[in-house]
Amino acid sequence: MIEMLNVVKKYNGLKALDNITFSVNREEIFGLLGPNGAGKTTALRIMSMLVKPDSGEVIINGMHQKENNRRIQGLLGVCPQEIALYLELTVRDNLLFFGMMGGLSRKKAVIRAEELITEMDLEEKAREKVSLLSGGMKRRLNIAVSVIHKPRVLFMDEPTVGVDPRTRASIFSLLHNFKNNGMTIIYTTHYMEEADRLCDRVAVMDRGRIIALDAPKVLKSSLDPTGQISLEDVYLKLTN
């Protein structure tokens, strides 16, 4: 579904991405792991067309980004780490606004908004201003507006930062449902245990490079045949 080929990105002369190459399969939850500054957010922003690479190629659904900008944009959804909502609008109005911004007619946006209000368990808060919602409900709505146009690919940048365990479990359940309905998800996090539980495959990044890429189970067994090692232990050993 996605190919990153020899991608380089520099900021102030320093390489945020250092000639990285990898691919993401269709209907896969693919994790980008690493500490702050590893390059995972830069990789996500380049794949989601928010930032242009200095060199290299990105291919999405068989289309080169440079040649098919508008066609690719319609396939993508982005859920940022920050809450990107209009706080003085209601839950329903936020969904309608982002749906129409995503290209839906008002009629289709209304239908899709009601679907997501139910799916995200926001029925009791549909008429409430976002500013009055709990942190967990804001997170769920943040995800909802990113998928209202039914993207083929969803980019998520550390969506569980600061959330409680119940909200985190709810987000994981939503993502598995998205995947089962045909969506490809690229998920950045520095929580290794989260990636171990959620992702089909992970790329471990450090200093702008990919230092390991495989299923979490395979990465763990490659360093400890008993399988008792954690994904965090794998990361620490690889970067030591």
For the chain, the structural domain boundaries read 82-150
For every residue of 16-27, which 3-state class applies, written as one string? EEEEEEEEECCC
Average pLDDT over residues 127-140: 91
Collapsed DSSP state (helix, strand, coil) of residue 62: coil
Say if residue 111's pLDDT is above 90. yes
CA distance 83 to 137: 11
Q: What's this model's pTM, rounded to 2 decimal places? A: 0.89
Considering the segment(s) 82-150 as one domain, its CATH architecture is: Orthogonal Bundle (1.10)
Strand order in the sheet with 55-60: 14-24, 2-11, 55-60, 63-64
Q: What single-letter amino acid sits at 73?
A: Q
Report the chain's mean pLDDT, rounded to a whole number: 90
Residue at 1: amino acid letter: M
Q: What span, in angstroms and rounded, lies between the C-alpha atoms of 234 and 75?
A: 34
**pLDDT at position 227:** 65
Q: Are 40 and 199 in contact (CB under 8 A)?
A: no
Report the b/e string of 230-240 with b at 16+ CB within 10 A: ebeebbeeeee
Give pLDDT tens digits for 168-199.
888 888 899 999 999 999 999 878 888 898 99
